[in-house]
């Protein structure tokens, strides 16, 4: 990691250099700020939300947001077709998106990392089998398989997380495999083995710390990927089920009225776009800061 | 080359076989097709009768080999809902999806390759920054939402394009854009990286030094070498697009294979869903097979490995 900086004096230590790169990286700062605020909003949803996101009021249906002349400050982002406060649903929706993104990435990350590190470290037959499994996985259409399984098992938060987690491990496996392949031939791995470290110890203390940066970058990509897929599944009616306030479901529910009340689909869509954009910017930032040579 | 082709073909067949088994097992293990077919009001005896009639009471491996044997002969069974052959059903719908896929990948390439080349000619210039900005934005845009926004603006507000159906080429404009834009960022970045790498090589310097016109160097010498990895990426993206057509076709009511997939999934029509997963997977396998062969033909180093 330190090989990329050529001046060995204290002012340009690895962490000093990284700090400098973080400060100079606008995308990373903006992305992290947005992700952090969404995370806070999700955690503090019951405190922030002005209304109950499930409370229906049929007399107050389809009130437009406050910037519309018909809007009011009571419902800043208006109400949906059942009279539920849109801002509160949006705030609770952040919980669902983050839960699914992080949950699915966690499952797929564990599967993919184990497979990739094993393939890269042991090579030979293990590598052949893992590479074959990656090829098989890539050949199967993700959206179609996810939709079919969710339709059969029944849509719920847990099912969507599990299905996406079991489908999105391919990128983890590919990247972990190639990073481990590089690390395996390093002198310090040979040294650790020479002094008699067990295989598991070499993997945990020598290999893992050196692939963890790549792992973080892939994790951000897959969190974003899972969030978009969940929204698409829920939009098609085969993901998270009503009355849960998933952003994809909100777009789907507003779709029938989008020609008259375009804000119904604009607001959850913009939220989705901003969150995914912010996560991607953060991932790009981590990559640029920890491994600037991979920028292109 | 022949040895490589045979080896690669063997791998493709093995992958196809595994995919067929997984897609078969996945759908059969996760539900009881007899209950799905009989409906909610059926008695236990009805369900048992259906189970016997369709052979669902046999071991899964027997059912799988039976299905596989017929699938190889082009018989994917009968659709529970449409009551016709799954293969002819898919065959009817596939041309629409293919047209859409070809349009979308063409759109993505036409958009991203020139942008990638322009960005690589002057790294960190305004063009490069704009290209990077667009690709970051594009990757974060959910396609179903983008599709709805296009409908609101182009069809309803400006009245430029029809919202749904597949009668004229105008009906394909929005679906093409929605399906194609998502592949563009990856292709753009790979073109840019490849061009940057090639442009710094000695043979490009030689070509420039001997006084060739800049555009000859750029397109005849540089792009031809930089485009090789882009070809396989485009093939992979094309395969992904066919799988992704389900969202786009559903929104624009384009009656292709993707729309069929959505129809059959919501109606628990297992044979059709299975057939579609198999067909989409096979397409991806065939595409990547040819892309790999093309690569091996263009770059002899791949063949030796």
> Each residue of A15-56: pLDDT tens digit?
777 777 777 778 889 999 999 999 999 999 899 888 888 888
Nearest CA in chain A to B283: A139
Whether residue B11 and residue A251 make contact (CB cut-off 8 A), yes or no, is no
Structural class in CATH, domain B95-284: mainly alpha
Q: Which tokens go with B194? A: 């490849």
Global pTM reads 0.88
DSSP label of A58: G
Instruction: Kindly identify which residue of chain A lies nearest to residue B288, measuring between CA atoms.
Output: A139
Cis peptide leading into residue B176 (ω within 30°): no
- B212: distance to nearest CA of chain A, Å? 28
* A 11-30 near B (Cβ less than 8 A): 27
With CA atoms as reference, the chain A residue closest to B237 would be A138
ipTM summary value = 0.86
Question: pLDDT tens across B36-82, in order?
Answer: 666 667 777 777 777 777 777 777 788 888 888 888 887 787 777 78
Q: In this complex, do A148 and B148 lie within 8 Å of one another by their Cβ atoms?
A: no
Predicted local confidence at residue B228, as pLDDT = 83
Tell me the per-residue pLDDT of B265-299, one tens digit each, with 9 for 90 and over. 888 888 888 889 999 999 999 999 998 888 888 77
Q: Where do we find the tokens 């770059």?
A: B299
Residue A227, classified by CB atoms within 10 Å of its CB into exposed (0-12), middle (13-18) or buried (19+), is buried
**Contact state of A139 with B139 under an 8 Å Cβ cutoff:** no
Tokens of B134: 């667009």
> Which residues between 248 and 267 in chain A have a beta carbon less than 8 angstroms from any beta carbon of chain B?
248, 251, 255, 258-259, 262, 265-266
- In DSSP terms, A75 is beta-bridged to A72
B273: left (phi over 0), alpha (psi -120 to 50) or beta: alpha
Among B29, B93, B137, B142, the strongest candidate for a mutation testing the A interface, having the largest count of A CBs within 10 A, is B142
> What is the nearest CA distance from A130 to chain B, expressed in angstroms?
12
Chain centre to alpha carbon of residue A156: 19
User: What letter does residue A257 receive in the DSSP assignment?
Assistant: G
The secondary structure element, H or E, covering residue B79 is: none
Instruction: Please indicate if any CB of chain B lies within 8 Å of the CB of A280.
Output: yes
pLDDT in tens, B74-86: 778 777 778 788 8
């Amino acid at each position: 990691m330190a090989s990329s900086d050529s001046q060995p004096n204290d002012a340009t230590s690895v962490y000093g250099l990284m700090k400098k790169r973080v400060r100079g990286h606008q995308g990373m700062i903006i992305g992290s700020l947005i992700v952090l605020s969404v995370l806070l909003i999700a955690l503090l949803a019951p405190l922030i939300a002005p209304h109950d996101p499930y409370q229906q009021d049929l007399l107050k249906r389809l009130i437009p947001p406050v910037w519309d002349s018909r809007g009011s400050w009571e419902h800043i982002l208006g109400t949906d077709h059942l009279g539920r406060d849109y801002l509160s649903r949006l705030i609770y929706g952040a919980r669902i998106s983050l839960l699914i993104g992080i949950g699915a990435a966690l499952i797929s990350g564990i599967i993919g990392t184990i497979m990739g590190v094993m393939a890269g470290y042991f090579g030979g037959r293990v590598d052949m089998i893992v590479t074959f499994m990656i090829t098989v996985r890539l050949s199967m259409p993700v959206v179609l398989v996810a939709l079919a399984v969710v339709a059969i098992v029944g849509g719920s938060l847990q099912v969507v997380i599990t299905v996406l987690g079991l489908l999105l491990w391919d990128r983890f496996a590919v990247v972990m495999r190639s990073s481990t392949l590089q690390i395996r031939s390093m002198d310090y791995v040979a040294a650790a083995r020479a002094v008699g470290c067990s295989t598991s110890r070499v993997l945990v203390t020598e290999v893992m710390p050196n692939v963890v940066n790549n792992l973080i970058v892939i994790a951000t990509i897959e969190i974003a990927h899972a969030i978009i897929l969940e929204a698409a599944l829920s939009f098609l009616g085969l993901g998270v089920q009503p009355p849960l306030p998933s952003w994809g479901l909100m777009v789907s529910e507003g779709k029938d009225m989008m020609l008259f009340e375009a804000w119904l689909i604009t607001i959850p869509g913009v939220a989705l776009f901003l969150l995914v954009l912010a996560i991607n910017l953060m991932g790009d930032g981590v990559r640029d800061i920890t491994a600037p040579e991979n920028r292109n | 080359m022949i040895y490589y082709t045979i080896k690669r073909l063997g791998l493709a067949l093995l992958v196809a076989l595994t995919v067929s088994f997984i897609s078969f097992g996945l759908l059969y293990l996760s539900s009881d097709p007899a209950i799905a077919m009989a409906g909610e009001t059926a008695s236990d005896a009805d369900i048992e009768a259906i189970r016997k009639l369709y052979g669902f009471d046999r071991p899964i491996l027997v059912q799988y080999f039976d299905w596989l044997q017929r699938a190889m002969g082009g018989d994917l069974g009968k659709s529970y809902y449409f009551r016709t052959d799954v293969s002819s059903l898919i065959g009817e719908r596939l041309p629409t999806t293919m047209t859409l896929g070809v349009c979308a990948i063409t759109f993505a390439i036409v958009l991203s390759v020139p942008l990638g080349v322009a960005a690589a000619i002057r790294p960190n210039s305004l063009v490069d920054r704009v290209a990077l900005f667009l690709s970051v934005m594009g990757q974060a845009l959910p396609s179903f939402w983008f599709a709805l926004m296009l409908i609101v603006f182009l069809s309803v507000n400006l009245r430029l394009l029809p919202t749904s159906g597949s009668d004229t080429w105008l009906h394909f404009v929005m679906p093409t854009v929605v399906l194609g834009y998502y592949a563009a960022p990856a292709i753009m970045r790979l073109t840019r990286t490849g061009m940057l790498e090639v442009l710094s090589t000695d043979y490009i310097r030689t070509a420039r030094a001997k006084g060739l016109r800049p555009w000859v160097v750029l397109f005849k010498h540089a792009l031809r070498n930089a485009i090789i990895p882009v070809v396989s990426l485009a093939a992979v993206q094309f395969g992904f697009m066919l799988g992704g057509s389900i969202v786009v076709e559903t929104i624009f009511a384009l009656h292709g294979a993707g729309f069929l997939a959505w129809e059959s999934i919501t109606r628990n029509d297992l044979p059709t869903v299975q057939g579609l997963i198999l067909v989409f997977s096979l397409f991806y396998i065939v595409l990547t097979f040819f892309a790999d062969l093309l690569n091996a033909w263009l770059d002899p180093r791949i063949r030796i490995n």
